[in-house]
Amino acid sequence: MTNPPRIILIDLDDTIYPASLGLWPLFTTRIHTYMRDRVGIPENEITTTRDRLFEQYGTTMRGLQFEHGIDMHEYLDFVHNIDLSEYVHPDPALTAMLEGLTQEKWIFTNASRAHAENILGLMGLERFFSGIIDVVDTAPWCKPQPEAFEIALRRLGNPNPGDILFVDDRSSNLDTARGLGMATCLISPEPQNNHAHIVRLAELGTLFS
* Structure confidence by residue, pLDDT tens digits, 169-201: 999 999 999 999 999 999 999 999 999 999 999
Instruction: Write out the residue range of the structural domain in which residue 140 sits.
Output: 7-17+88-208
Whichever domain contains 48, its CATH number is 1.10.150.450
Residues 28 and 46 in one domain: yes
Q: What is the mean pLDDT of the chain?
A: 97
Q: Is residue 2 part of a domain?
A: no
pLDDT at 24: 95
pLDDT band at 4 (very low <50, low <70, confident <90, very high): confident
Regarding whether 103 and 33 lie in a shared domain, the answer is no
Strand order in the sheet with 183-187: 131-133, 104-108, 7-10, 164-168, 183-187, 196-198
Query: What is the reported pLDDT for 120?
Result: 98
pLDDT at 2: 62
Write out pLDDT tens, residues 46-89: 999 999 999 999 999 999 999 999 999 999 999 999 999 999 99
179 and 135 within one domain? yes
**Does residue 123 fall inside a structural domain?**
yes
Same domain, 113 and 195: yes
Residue 98 and residue 183 in one domain: yes
